[in-house]
Amino acid sequence: MLQQNPQAQLTWQRTFSDDKFLARTDALIYDPAADGYDLYEIKSSTSVKKDHEFDLAFQALLLK
Protein backbone atom coordinates (compact mmCIF):
# COMPACT_ATOMS: atom_id res chain seq x y z
CA MET A 1 0.00 0.00 0.00
CA LEU A 2 2.66 2.53 0.97
CA GLN A 3 4.84 1.67 -2.01
CA GLN A 4 1.89 2.12 -4.37
CA ASN A 5 0.78 5.33 -2.67
CA PRO A 6 3.54 7.42 -1.08
CA GLN A 7 0.87 9.81 0.25
CA ALA A 8 -0.57 7.08 2.52
CA GLN A 9 0.17 7.45 6.22
CA LEU A 10 0.95 4.42 8.40
CA THR A 11 0.22 4.51 12.14
CA TRP A 12 1.30 1.70 14.48
CA GLN A 13 -0.68 0.79 17.62
CA ARG A 14 -2.95 3.79 17.75
CA THR A 15 -5.42 3.81 20.63
CA PHE A 16 -9.09 4.73 20.26
CA SER A 17 -11.79 5.15 22.88
CA ASP A 18 -15.44 6.11 22.95
CA ASP A 19 -15.31 6.66 26.74
CA LYS A 20 -16.81 3.20 27.28
CA PHE A 21 -14.57 0.92 25.20
CA LEU A 22 -10.87 1.03 24.32
CA ALA A 23 -9.11 -0.52 21.33
CA ARG A 24 -5.54 -0.41 20.05
CA THR A 25 -5.02 -1.05 16.36
CA ASP A 26 -1.99 -2.93 15.08
CA ALA A 27 -1.60 -1.02 11.83
CA LEU A 28 -3.82 1.70 10.41
CA ILE A 29 -3.15 3.21 6.99
CA TYR A 30 -4.83 6.43 5.89
CA ASP A 31 -5.14 6.94 2.15
CA PRO A 32 -5.80 10.64 1.44
CA ALA A 33 -6.66 9.96 -2.21
CA ALA A 34 -9.51 7.66 -1.19
CA ASP A 35 -10.16 9.55 2.06
CA GLY A 36 -10.33 6.21 3.86
CA TYR A 37 -8.49 3.84 6.14
CA ASP A 38 -7.20 0.28 5.92
CA LEU A 39 -7.12 -1.56 9.26
CA TYR A 40 -4.71 -4.47 9.75
CA GLU A 41 -4.62 -7.00 12.58
CA ILE A 42 -1.16 -8.57 12.76
CA LYS A 43 -0.71 -11.99 14.37
CA SER A 44 2.17 -14.43 14.47
CA SER A 45 0.14 -17.53 13.66
CA THR A 46 -0.20 -19.58 10.51
CA SER A 47 -3.98 -19.44 10.30
CA VAL A 48 -6.89 -17.15 11.07
CA LYS A 49 -8.54 -17.92 14.39
CA LYS A 50 -12.04 -16.91 15.46
CA ASP A 51 -10.59 -14.70 18.24
CA HIS A 52 -8.65 -12.75 15.59
CA GLU A 53 -11.85 -12.08 13.67
CA PHE A 54 -13.65 -10.90 16.83
CA ASP A 55 -10.74 -8.62 17.73
CA LEU A 56 -10.65 -7.04 14.28
CA ALA A 57 -14.45 -6.65 14.18
CA PHE A 58 -14.44 -4.95 17.59
CA GLN A 59 -11.75 -2.51 16.45
CA ALA A 60 -13.56 -1.73 13.19
CA LEU A 61 -16.85 -1.08 14.99
CA LEU A 62 -15.21 1.17 17.57
CA LEU A 63 -13.41 3.17 14.88
CA LYS A 64 -16.66 3.73 12.96
Residue range 36-63: mean pLDDT, rounded = 93
Q: Is the four-CA dihedral 46, 47, 50, 53 of positive or negative sign?
A: positive
Whether the per-residue pLDDT at 2 is higher than 60: the answer is no
pLDDT, averaged across the chain: 90
Q: Name the residue among 16, 59, 18 with its Cα closest to residue 38.
A: 59
Q: What is the pLDDT of residue 1?
A: 47
Does residue 1 contact residue 29 with C-beta atoms inside 8 Å? yes
| 17-43 confidence digits (pLDDT tens) | 999 999 999 999 999 988 999 999 998
Cut 0.85: pTM above it: no
Quick one: how far is CA 34 from the chain centroid? 16
- The amino acid occupying position 19 is D
